[in-house]
Amino acid sequence: MTYTGIGILATLGDDLSRINRKSIVDGVAAVQRPDGSFSACVDGSENDMRFVFCAAAICHMLDYWGNVDKEKMFEFITSCIRYDNGFSQYLEGEAHGGTTFCALAALELSGQLHRLDVTTIENIKRWLIFRQVNGFQGRPNKAVDTCYSFWIGAALRILGAFELIDYEENRAYIMETQDSIVGGFSKWPQSTTDPFHTYFGLCGLSFMNEPGLSAVMPSLNISMRAYNRLKQLHAQWQVESTDDRFVSSNKSASSKLNSDENSTSVTSPLIEAQ
């Protein structure tokens, strides 16, 4: 909920001045597990790739990582690469389109995507590209589903390989799930539409530059407009942080100077005796 809350605020154009960035990231660090993964809350919950993504997205949006162990995070993510080159939700799990997105997005947001070697990257691309039937499936031998036009599409965007898909086939599938009477998109043709699949269907179309749709920032799953606003806030916070350090340094130097002056102005006992 913290990830989605911050993302919604950014989308609405909020300046995030009412949230305590340090406290939030301290909370994120508190739910990191010894294996590098994250759970949903301090009371204990599932800990897997979904929450790794949320942790990375929160820290990236707030431009602060605090005590989050990015090295342990990297180790957990890479340990979840399966034999077929997709990422699983947890150790020894099955490779899945959604968790492959979560893994790649977390690596990009934490500045660690470059640590994957070329062979690994190419193998992941191949696994992702093979998820296209007409639209995309989440796993081998599973039905195509509208939402994977985002999960797989965004993962390929992150790796710079989205242009390798068949745009027309993907677009045709998404449009086939649209309900022209009540509106929205569904996961399958002739199914009930819902906000979840409508949103991800629109994201999938946006990746293919559908006219009239805003651009989407793949790894954060927010609009590019919201992301550009975040970058402005990051620059502002960095200036404020530099100013705070400057003021603190000046106060420290002034305090030391006053202390030195007080020390040198002590009256000599000989003068007092006179």
Indicate which CATH number applies to the domain containing 176. Answer: 1.50.10.20
In a domain, 264, yes or no: no
In a domain, 151, yes or no: yes
Q: Give the Cα separation of 270 and 82 in Å (integer).
A: 83
In a domain, 75, yes or no: yes
In a domain, 270, yes or no: no
In a domain, 240, yes or no: no
The domain total for the chain is: 1
Range of the domain at 65: 2-231
In a domain, 61, yes or no: yes
Q: What is the pLDDT along the chain (274 residues), one digit of tens a residue?
A: 999 999 999 999 999 999 999 999 999 999 999 999 999 999 888 999 999 999 999 999 999 999 999 999 999 999 999 999 999 999 989 999 999 999 999 999 999 999 999 999 999 999 999 999 999 999 999 999 999 999 999 999 999 999 999 999 999 999 999 999 999 999 999 999 999 999 999 999 999 999 999 999 999 999 999 999 999 999 999 999 887 765 665 666 556 656 665 555 444 443 344 4
Q: Give the Cα separation of 193 and 179 in Å (integer).
A: 7
In a domain, 197, yes or no: yes
In a domain, 220, yes or no: yes
What residue spans of the chain are helical by DSSP H? 2-11, 21-30, 49-62, 70-79, 97-109, 118-129, 148-158, 167-176, 195-207, 224-264, 269-273
